[in-house]
Amino acid sequence: MTLFELKHPDRLALFLDFDGTLVEIAEKPDAVQLAETTRETLTRLKRALDGALAIVTGRDIEKIDAMLAPFRCPVAGVHGLTRRDALGRAHGALIEATFLDEAQRRLERLARTEVGLLIERKSHAIAIHYRGRPDLEHACLEVMEGIARLDDRVRLVRGKMVIEARPTGGDKGMAVADFMMEPPFSGRQPLFAGDDVTDEDAFEVVNRQGGLTLKIGPGETCAQYRVADTASFLAWLGETADTLEKGHAID
Ligand SMILES: [Mg+2]
């Protein structure tokens, strides 16, 4: 499957979302598993790109490390609020633990009376997943709007069947821009692939930087290219790893 002609694949800096991009979305976030072939593909790509591969996800960095292990790479977590760069240095925004505690209490009150909701507390944000109860979208939104009013430095971000309360500040686009100022990413052409509305910030930044943007699945987007689903994207990723390794062999 040729999506687009990569003129200099060895000059790419690859930025990949995780859920819906490298793994199929599951009913519960903890139920997803990275396929061994995908782990191998990531390992091959990172080697061929001299380390210029990062995961840019809504999850905590620690969760991603655990899912990818023993593979490890730079990661931006919580939609760009936290970041571990190529040297292993941590960058992050601040959020009050007391705010997260109060938000958790309010969400638990809702989840106790309604089964099928899932609360996800992260290091820098808190989210409610209603994939198991799409009928409760409005109820979840109401509680989350109340939570957002507790602190004017907090904003809501909506994803697929999930609403998250997080500090204003970083987003996936800013995380990519930060990576692109540092080795081994700087001087390369960024390529960002993602499936959700939170990836749009990154698409915008990468488009502006003359990079390539790829949307997985349906939905409005400012990405330049689209693939139908996660499986098609993973097939393309594997082929890109093949191309890169062939290029290295010729050198
Ligand atoms: Mg995603």
For the chain, what are the domain ranges?
9-93+170-250, 97-167
110 CB-near residues (< 8 Å, 6+ apart): 117, 128, 139, 140, 143
Dihedral through CA 102, CA 104, CA 109, CA 112, nearest 10? -160
**What is the C-alpha to C-alpha distance for residues 27 and 104, in angstroms, rounded to an integer?**
21
For 97-167, CATH gives 3.30.70.1020
Centroid of ligand 1 to alpha carbon of 47 (angstroms):
24
Percent of the chain, pLDDT > 90?
83
Q: How far apart are CA 242 and CA 188, in angstroms?
A: 19
Q: Which residues surround ligand 1, an ion (CB under 5 A)?
A: 17, 19-20, 195-196
CA distance 3 to 226: 8
Domain 9-93+170-250 listed as CATH 3.40.50.1000: yes
Determine the pLDDT at residue 248. Answer: 61
Active-site residue flag, 19: no
Per-residue pLDDT tens over the stretch 77-98: 999 999 999 999 999 877 888 9
How many angstroms separate the CA atoms of 202 and 173, rounded? 4
Do strands 82-84 and 12-16 pair parallel, antiparallel, or not at all (unpaired)? unpaired
The secondary element (H helix, E strand) that includes residue 113 is: helix 97-113
**Cα–Cα dist 36/213, whole Å:** 25
pTM as predicted = 0.85
